[in-house]
Amino acid sequence: MVILGAVLMMISGTAIVGSKWVIDQATSNIEQRDLLGVAGKTDAEGGDSLEGSIDMLLLGIDHRASWEESDTRADTIIILHIPATHDQAYLISIPRDTEVTVPPFPASGYGGGTAKATEAFFHGAQNGAGHSGGARLMAETLKNLTGISFDGAAIINFSGFRSVIDSLGTIPICVDEDTPSIHMTLVDGKPMWNSDAEKVSGDKQQVVHKKGCREMQGWEALDFSRQRYGLDNGDYDRQKNQQKLLKGMAKKAMADGIATNPLKLGELIKSAGEAFVLDVGEVPIADFVFTLRGVAANDLVMLRTNGGSFNGNDEGREELTPLSREMFRAVKNDTLAEFIFANPTVLADQQ
């Protein structure tokens, strides 16, 4: 999701106008790698200039320390678009099961083929290419699919994401329908992974996220945002809930004054540094953050592909509808606001 890196940079840019040094100190522990490869913007497209529109690829993965990096898929795929005015931000989720043409990738030994979008990351991570290779192949695959080149990218690891949410305290989230968890069990009232709960005794109850709006603890917010089975619209509802989490995190940081307190902000970004890897090309992170200072939490607009419902082909994979393809062309041409005005159905629930 989330995913988080760009949101943190936006709220921090708002807070520390005129103090790039403070931003640089707060972001110094964030790991940086090449996550874009040939999918980065060319000089003709703006290159490392931040004067025009900004497009970032945000990838959420579920990777445990004991797992090999090659055994990873991208569970969440989000494109963050910021127009040239730098006063708005749009989040567009791409369904993980979208059918894509994955190009050959010598770094991992992959010869190319047709796959689900989530599998592009897996193919790029093989043979020692790791998560960076997975991100580069994913970025190249999505560039071919949407026509969008990227200014930056971030890989967010779900296992490290909870500590970031916990540092905010609780997150405001609205649940649209009762959502049973397939990941967690309450043991004597304490949340545990299902695999851990099986090893202990006690009163066990399935975690169910009840319909309604409330403040969620870190474990609850993260678990809720990862559910897709049993929801009316499956992965599309999960995409919507993940976007809600991002927006809720940004709102919480603004409301609690974290975004206006350099020390608190530094602690938050330090926690985030343990959860994600970032690529902003040749641009210093401080400059990147400062450029986004005009974007606030309420300026995050959530968009949906395929009208928010499954659009499958004969292979049981997703295909982008003509309207969704037109939306991505609007992202590339930086005419997304005009497109949304003419096609308001692409707007997701803005709770």
| 138 within some domain | yes
CA 230 to CA 38: how far, in whole Å? 38
Strand order in the sheet with 74-82: 31-32, 276-279, 152-157, 54-61, 74-82, 89-93, 300-303
Which residue range forms the structural domain that includes residue 67?
4-169+218-225+234-346
Q: Is residue 269 part of a domain?
A: yes
Q: Look at residue 261 in the predicted model and tell me its pLDDT.
A: 65
Give pLDDT, residue 167. 78
| Number of folded domains that form the chain | 1
Per-residue pLDDT of the chain (351 residues; tens, 9 = 90+): 333 444 444 444 444 444 566 666 666 667 788 999 999 998 888 877 888 899 999 888 876 555 677 777 788 888 999 999 888 889 898 888 899 999 999 999 999 999 999 999 999 999 999 999 999 999 999 999 999 999 989 888 776 677 778 878 888 899 999 999 999 999 999 999 898 999 999 999 999 999 999 999 888 988 998 888 888 877 778 878 887 887 788 777 777 666 556 666 667 766 666 667 888 878 877 777 667 766 765 567 888 888 877 777 777 788 999 999 999 999 999 999 999 999 999 988 655
Distance CA(135)–CA(153), nearest Å, equals 8
Residue 186 covered by a domain: no
In-domain check, residue 175: no
Q: How far is residue 8 CA from its own chain's centroid? A: 12
- Write the burial class of residue 329 (CB in 10 Å: 0-12 exposed, 13-18 middle, 19+ buried): middle
pLDDT value of residue 272: 67
pLDDT score at 16: 45
Question: The domain spanning residue 330 has which CATH number?
Answer: 3.40.630.190
Residue 13 near residue 293 (C-beta atoms within 8 A): yes
Does 268 map to a domain?
A: yes
In a domain, 203, yes or no: no
- 145 occurs within a structural domain: yes
Q: Is 267 inside a domain boundary?
A: yes
What's the pLDDT at 337? 93
pLDDT of residue 17: 45
| φ, ψ for residue 73, nearest 5 deg | -120, 160
The pTM of this model reads 0.78
How many other CB atoms sit within 10 Å of the CB of residue 68? 10
